[in-house]
Amino acid sequence: MVKIDHDKYEEYLKKIKRSRIAVIGDLMLDVYFWGRTDRISPEAPVPVVSVTGEEMKPGGAANVSLNVKSLGAKPYSFGVIGNDMSGSFFIDNFKFHGLNTDNILIDKKRPTTVKTRILALNQHVVRFDKESTQDISKNTEKKLLESFIEAADNIDAVIFQDYNKGVLTSGLVKNIMSVASEKKILTAVDPKIKNFISYKGADIFKPNLKEAEEILKRKIRTDSEIEKAGIDLMDKLELKRLVITLSERGMAIFNSNAIMNIIPAQSAKIANVSGAGDTVISTLVAFICGGASFEEACTIANFAASIVVEDVSIIPVEPSQLKIRLEKSGIIQKRK
C-alpha cells in the first residue's frame, strides 16, 4: 500500500493551488427533484412523487471542472451549451460555483444537455435526458480550438471528458492533442468508444471496464484478462499510463512499463456511482500536477471516489473529507 508523508501531502496541496487544468468535453446541467411517494398513479402503474425540493448542479465535463476547483486548482472549462433556458440556468449555476464561463460557446442549433433525476426517499425513480449527440459544426469546432490555443500557454494539463455528445470530434481531439504535445501539456482522457483512436499517445487514459471491452471488442473478467487488456490498450494507443476503473473492485493501473497494480475499492456504502469517474480523473490529474507519483495520485483518486459514491446525488470531492479518509486508512502518515 502507498504511504505518503504528511508534510509531502501538504506540499502536493500547495502545488495544486498553483496548477491550471483545462477541461474540455460535454457540458451538462444536472437537475434533481427530491420528494416522497406513497401511492401509485390511477392513470398508469407508476409512483406519484410529491416534490419537496429541487437542485441544479454542473454535470458531465462541468462536474470535472467543479472537482478540479474543489481540489484547489484553477479550471479552464471548454464546451458548448444551447441558446435556451437550460443554457441560462447552466451559466448562472456555473458562475454560482465560482467557475469561469469565458470559453463556453453558445450554439443556437443545439440544446443544452440536461439530465433530470427524480428521487424519492433517496432512491432514483426515473431519469430523463434532453440532448443532441450530433457532432458540433466545423465552425464551432474551430472556435473551441482557437480558444484552447489562446489559453494553452497558461495550462499545465488538459482533461478530455467525453460522453459521446458530439463536442469531442475526431478533428478537435487531434488538434488539441497536437497543441498539447507541442507545449508539453499533460493530456488525460476519460473516453467513450467513439473517436477513441484520436487519443493516441495520451499521457493518461482512463476507461471503465465496459469501455475497455468495447474498444478491444472482447469480454474482460479475470485479473489476467484485465492485465492483457491493459497491455493491449497501451500498445494500441501508445499510451504513457493507463487506469481501468473496475466499479466495486477498484481500479487497475498500468505504469509506463505496462506493469499492472490493482487498487481495491474503498467505499463501504454505495448510493450512486454516477460522477465517480469524474472524481477519479480530476483528482488523479490534480495530484499529478501537484507533484504526486502516478501510483500515489491513483490511490488518492480511489479514495476520493469512495467519498462521492456514498452520496445519492453527484457531488465534488471535498479536500478536508479526503484528507480525513486518507489519514484513517493509513495512507497519509500523521506527524508523531
Q: Return the active site residues.
A: 278
Q: Which residues of 15-30 are buried (b: 16+ CB within 10 A; e: fewer)?
A: bbeebbbbbbbbbbbb
Cβ within 8 Å of residue 83, ≥6 positions away: 106, 107, 108
Dig out the grid coordinates for 8 from the structure: 509531502
Q: How far apart are CA 167 and CA 4, in angstroms?
A: 38
Dig out the grid coordinates for 239 from the structure: 499510451
Q: Residue 186's closest CA among 14, 16, 22?
A: 22
Q: Residue 274's closest CA among 317, 322, 309?
A: 309
CA angle 126, 128, 132 (to 5 degrees): 160
Q: Residue 314's closest CA among 115, 126, 125?
A: 115
